[in-house]
Amino acid sequence: PVHCMREALKTAKAETNEDKEQQSAELQRKACLLLGALADGDADVATKIVEEDGLEAVLEAVNWYRYHEDVGNWALWAVFILSYENPPNKVRNVELGGVPIIIGTMQNVTECLEVARHGIAVLFDLMRDENTPGGANQSSQTHKHLDVWQIRRSALAAGLHEAVLTAMETFSDKIDIVMMGAELLAGTD
pLDDT digits (tens, 9 = 90+) for 134-169: 444 444 444 577 888 889 999 999 999 999 999 999
Q: Distance of alpha carbon 138 from its chain centroid, rounded?
A: 21
Residue 85, pLDDT score: 87
- C-alpha torsion angle, residues 128, 130, 133, 134 (rounded to 10): 60
pLDDT tens per residue across span 51-68: 999 999 999 999 999 999
pLDDT of residue 139: 45
pLDDT computed for residue 189 by the predictor: 81
Segment 19-45, tens digit of pLDDT: 999 999 999 999 999 999 999 999 999
d(CA 9, CA 28): 7
Averaged confidence pLDDT in the chain: 92
Q: Are 100 and 48 in contact (CB under 8 A)?
A: no
* The pLDDT of residue 138: 45
Given this model, what pLDDT does residue 143 score?
Answer: 55
Distance between CA 42 and CA 10 in Å, rounded?
Answer: 29
Non-local (6+) Cβ contacts of 38 within 8 A are 45, 49
Least confident of 2-6, 72-76, 130-134, 158-162: 130-134
Confidence tier at 70 by pLDDT (50, 70, 90): very high
Name the pLDDT band for 129 (thresholds 50, 70, 90).
low
Range name among 92-101, 143-152, 166-175 with the lowest pLDDT average: 143-152
Q: What is the pTM of this model?
A: 0.90
Q: What is the pLDDT of residue 146?
A: 83
Q: What is the mean pLDDT of residues 93-104?
A: 96
